[in-house]
């Protein structure tokens, strides 16, 4: 077996394992009180409900966020950096685009994002493997 074949098989095995672990996690998670699932499969939990306007996909939003894998591994956190991030809502993963449009400004929610609404079957950086389910705590600070 060539090195390329070995790497492909390792990626394939990792992808299948991540997909199964994520499916099991999301199936159990949606049964928890306070967790809502949308038609796309995005799950969310309201931590704090704000009363401001909701963004559209064409707004730029400013958020504090903390992203982990289902095993608790942190892969990105504006909270840890001590500085919120701003980005056009139509230029992020679709789980964020969908979820943030449901949030009134001033809210803090937890998103549970299946791979189909995240990075799919791609390895992203050293931490996010193929078919990873992602968890984000997101606070919507501002809408522009």
Q: Which residues are annotated as catalytic? A: 65, 75-76, 93, 119, 136
Burial 11-44 (b: 16+ CB within 10 A, else e): eeeebeebbebbeebbeebeeeeebeeeeebbbb
CB neighbour class for 89 (10 Å; exposed up to 12, middle 13-18, buried from 19): buried
Strand partners, 20: none
Longest dimension (CA), the chain: 59
Residue 85 phi, psi dihedral angles, 5° rounding: -115, 145
Which tokens in the block code for residue 36? 């809502």
Strand partners, 35: 45
């Amino acid at each position: 077996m060539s090195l390329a074949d070995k790497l492909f098989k390792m990626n394939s095995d990792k992808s299948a394992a991540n997909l199964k672990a994520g499916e099991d996690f999301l199936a159990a998670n949606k049964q928890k009180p306070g967790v809502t699932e949308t038609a796309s499969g995005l799950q969310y939990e309201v931590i704090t409900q704000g009363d401001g306007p909701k963004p559209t996909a064409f707004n730029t939003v400013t958020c504090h966020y903390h992203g982990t894998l289902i095993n608790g591994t942190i892969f990105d956190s504006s909270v840890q950096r001590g500085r919120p991030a701003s980005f056009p809502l139509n230029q992020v993963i679709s789980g964020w685009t969908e979820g943030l449009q449901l949030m009134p400004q001033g809210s803090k929610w937890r998103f549970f994002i299946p791979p189909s609404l995240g990075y799919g079957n791609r390895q992203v950086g050293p931490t996010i493997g193929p078919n990873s389910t992602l968890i984000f705590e997101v606070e919507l600070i501002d809408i522009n």
